[in-house]
Chains A and B, each alone.
Chain A
Amino acid sequence: MEFNSKPKGILVTGVIGEDVHVTGIRILEHALRNAGFKVVSLGIHNFDNDFINAAIETKADAILVSSLAGHAKMLVQDLRSKCIEAGIDAILLYLGGQLVVEKKDWPDVEKMFLDMGFNRVYPPFTVPDHPISDLKTDLGVGGNKPWK
């Protein structure tokens, strides 16, 4: 679905690592487009530099990383510092999915990734309304365009 007016923001989305799980990110992308964002979808099999290059190229406002295989800690720990190195210090970083392999309480998981420099972290089965509402807050864009 194409947006007609000016997009609310430009977002880079993708799955990080060797992961092939695609359902979650495809639902999110569909919802983000419907909410008026421009989505630059990288799909599966990306590493941190792929996200950063796409963000620079498209002048993105945020990077939304999905990870479902439990290896997120290894894959995303340098993302914020690499963004700073690349000169996109202010970019929003969101992360969601099945982020860890070990059994760990959610507040601890969330804190670990917030400490790595992510702005928002989401547990599995988060519905798109939450990140969409957070994006509107974080980007200072309002207005609702309901589904359908």
Chain B
Amino acid sequence: MEIRNKRLSEEEFFQQREEVLTMWPTGKEVDLDEAVEYHKSIPVGKNGALKTMEAKKRRVTELFCSSGTDTIAAHTELLRYCREVGRIDYASSYIDSFTRTGRFDMAEKGLKEAQKSGKKVLNGFPFVCHGVRGTRAVIEAVDMPVFVWGPAVDLRLVMEIGLAGGHTGYSGGPLISFWNYAKNVPLDKVIGFYQYVNRLMGYYEEKGVPILYGVSGAMPTITPPSLMTAAKIIETLIAAEQGCKHILLNNWAQGNMAQDIGSILTHSKLAREYLHKFGYDDVETVTFSVDPTGRYPADEQKVYSLIFYFAMIGVLAGVQMIGVRTVDEAKHVPTKESISASHQCARMMINMLQDQQNEVVNSDAVKAEARMEEVETKAILDKVLEMGDGDVIVGAVRAVETGVLDQSYATSQFVKGAVMGVKDAHGAARYMDHGNLPFSQEIVEFHQEKIAEREEKIGRKVDYEVLVGDITAIGDGSLLPERWGG
């Protein structure tokens, strides 16, 4: 049966749920009604959806820390330290990769080894092994909201346990999981798993427990932002249909300030517009900006500057939440001390800037970027909807097959991979090849002109060598490779 953007019926949801809860013995611990009561007993300040909405009302920018380790004791200690010393406002329990790929037995083995040796073994928090009781032990020991974090194909059981365990949000979605976290799983299958996850969140919402859902779209590598924003809006519409009411719009910065700020603005604007178009007017949105993916410099002093820079972009764009990378992560798994130091750096930046009047969002450069991204994103989304006869899921599945939705560096084998981005003379991401994206002549020419300007500046054609330099540039010390030195 073709999958559609339609809310799962109570019967479909509970029927599937029976199967989900038997995926591992700890599934038996989940009692939805009891979990709703448990959430109502938690102080309001520990609900991430409510806290971000409050931040939006007060016009403040708060700090989120992506974190997660294996044992209850180690994870609790990590979160407490980052809260007390790093002064973070929100944290995550990042899911370990065995759990994310459904290999719960391997996660169990790793967890036992970690418990025995006292050393870190897994690369995240194994929700399914800890079960509801273990997960609640962490939540009860910290005084801030904690989210489940990390994309993966099938997180149905993880989310059952994570939410019942007191987490009040999750970030990750069907499109980012499809492009960047799977090889041979078709998009409709991934979306099916996420319809369940989103319906579960919708269930909590109906019972009066706000849950924050973060959409990420796609991981960027010199990716023109419309390619991410289109995917994020599709994830938003899928979530809203299943009853999600609090949506966090994630924005990966890539380094060009006007483009990064413009993208945050466009993403919010279009999310509201498309939610309205489909009648989901009771959905609240908040914004989040996060440092780029990709290689970072090994020198800590250079990374401090990047943390400062990307936090500034977030504050200037007026986001509610900022995520930062850590100063030592190019060298080893970040320590709690380095995580705290990195967040203090970002905090100082936020504190300096957030009470000032800033007109950067109204600058011509930002407006131009925001406008272009809007035109591009709408071209993609409207084609997707047309291909699906109005159904965003049907359209998305067909659009991936034809490359109307595309990514350059997907791990999935079902992606065309015909699009390719490159930096322009100012370090903004442009389409070097727009593949089968449904773009007008105006859009295509805009990107060609921007790339021609770069070619003029560097005195050579933009080719694959330039592209490789662009990808490693920040790690090597500058936004554009032609600025290297020192």
Say yes or no: is B461 at the interface (Cβ < 8 Å to chain A). Answer: yes
Say yes or no: is B16 at the interface (Cβ < 8 Å to chain A). Answer: no
A33-51: CB near B (< 8 Å → 1, else 0) gives 0000000011111000000
- B453-486 residues with Cβ-Cβ distance < 8 A to A are 461, 463-465, 467-468, 471-472
A29 and B465 form a contact (CB under 8 A): no
B464 and A129 form a contact (CB under 8 A): yes
B409 and A22 form a contact (CB under 8 A): yes
Contacts of A112 in B (CB 8 A): none
Which of A20, A27, A31, A125 interacts with B411 by CB under 8 Å? A20
Contacts of B471 in A (CB 8 A): 23
The closest CB in chain B to the CB of A46 belongs to B183
A129 and B465 form a contact (CB under 8 A): yes
Q: A22-B409, A43-B183, A44-B183 are in contact. Are A30 and B417 (CB under 8 A)?
A: yes
Say yes or no: is A82 at the interface (Cβ < 8 Å to chain B). Answer: no
Say yes or no: is B382 at the interface (Cβ < 8 Å to chain A). Answer: no
Say yes or no: is B413 at the interface (Cβ < 8 Å to chain A). Answer: yes
The closest CB in chain B to the CB of A39 belongs to B417
**Minimum distance in angstroms from A51 CB to a CB of chain B:** 14
Which of B408, B412, B418, B468 interacts with A125 by CB under 8 Å? B468
The closest CB in chain A to the CB of B419 belongs to A30
| Measured CA separation A127–B470 after assembly (Å) | 13
Contacts of A44 in B (CB 8 A): 183, 411
Say yes or no: is A128 at the interface (Cβ < 8 Å to chain B). Answer: yes
| Measured CA separation A19–B468 after assembly (Å) | 20
| Measured CA separation A27–B420 after assembly (Å) | 8
Contacts of B191 in A (CB 8 A): none
A30 and B420 form a contact (CB under 8 A): yes
Which of B410, B461, B463, B468 interacts with A22 by CB under 8 Å? B410
**Minimum distance in angstroms from B446 CB to a CB of chain A:** 16
Q: How large is the interface on A (under 10, 10 to 19, 20 to 34, 35 or more residues)?
A: 20 to 34
| Measured CA separation A27–B199 after assembly (Å) | 38
Contacts of B463 in A (CB 8 A): 127, 129, 147
| Measured CA separation A119–B137 after assembly (Å) | 57
| Measured CA separation A29–B409 after assembly (Å) | 11
The closest CB in chain A to the CB of B407 belongs to A26
Contacts of B433 in A (CB 8 A): 1, 30
Say yes or no: is B86 at the interface (Cβ < 8 Å to chain A). Answer: no
- A1-29 residues with Cβ-Cβ distance < 8 A to B are 1, 20, 22-23, 26-27, 29
| Measured CA separation A26–B468 after assembly (Å) | 12
Say yes or no: is B93 at the interface (Cβ < 8 Å to chain A). Answer: no
| Measured CA separation A44–B180 after assembly (Å) | 11
Q: How large is the interface on B (under 10, 10 to 19, 20 to 34, 35 or more residues)?
A: 20 to 34
The closest CB in chain A to the CB of B451 belongs to A148
A27 and B467 form a contact (CB under 8 A): yes
**Minimum distance in angstroms from B104 CB to a CB of chain A:** 19
Which of A23, A127, A147 interacts with B221 by CB under 8 Å? A23
Contacts of A22 in B (CB 8 A): 409-411
Which of B409, B411, B464 interacts with A128 by CB under 8 Å? B464
- A113-134 residues with Cβ-Cβ distance < 8 A to B are 125, 127-129
The closest CB in chain B to the CB of A125 belongs to B468
Q: A22-B410, A26-B409, A43-B413 are in contact. Are A127 and B183 (CB under 8 A)?
A: no
Q: A27-B467, A147-B463 are in contact. Are A125 and B472 (CB under 8 A)?
A: yes
| Measured CA separation A28–B34 after assembly (Å) | 53
The closest CB in chain A to the CB of B435 belongs to A1
B411 and A127 form a contact (CB under 8 A): no
Contacts of B413 in A (CB 8 A): 41-43
| Measured CA separation A137–B420 after assembly (Å) | 27
| Measured CA separation A146–B412 after assembly (Å) | 28
Q: A1-B433, A23-B221, A43-B183 are in contact. Are A31 and B464 (CB under 8 A)?
A: yes
The closest CB in chain A to the CB of B408 belongs to A26
| Measured CA separation A128–B468 after assembly (Å) | 10
| Measured CA separation A128–B408 after assembly (Å) | 16
| Measured CA separation A45–B464 after assembly (Å) | 25
**Minimum distance in angstroms from A128 CB to a CB of chain B:** 5
> Looking at A1, A42, A129, which has the most chain B CB atoms within 10 Å of its CB?
A1
Contacts of B435 in A (CB 8 A): 1
A26 and B417 form a contact (CB under 8 A): yes
B465 and A127 form a contact (CB under 8 A): yes
A147 and B472 form a contact (CB under 8 A): no
Contacts of B409 in A (CB 8 A): 22-23, 26
Q: Please give 13 more A-B residue pairs, beta carbons under 8 A apart, in addition to A30-B408, A129-B464.
A: A1-B435, A20-B411, A22-B411, A23-B221, A23-B471, A26-B409, A26-B417, A27-B464, A30-B417, A41-B413, A42-B413, A43-B412, A148-B461
The 7 A-B pairs with the shortest beta carbon distances in the complex, nearest first, are A127-B465, A43-B413, A128-B464, A26-B409, A23-B409, A22-B411, A127-B464
Interface residues of A (CB under 8 A from B): 1, 20, 22-23, 26-27, 29-31, 41-45, 125, 127-129, 147-148
Interface residues of B (CB under 8 A from A): 183, 221, 408-413, 417-418, 420, 433, 435, 461, 463-465, 467-468, 471-472
A–B complex contacts, Cβ < 8 Å, 10 sampled:
A20-B411, A23-B471, A27-B467, A30-B420, A31-B464, A43-B183, A43-B412, A43-B413, A44-B411, A129-B463
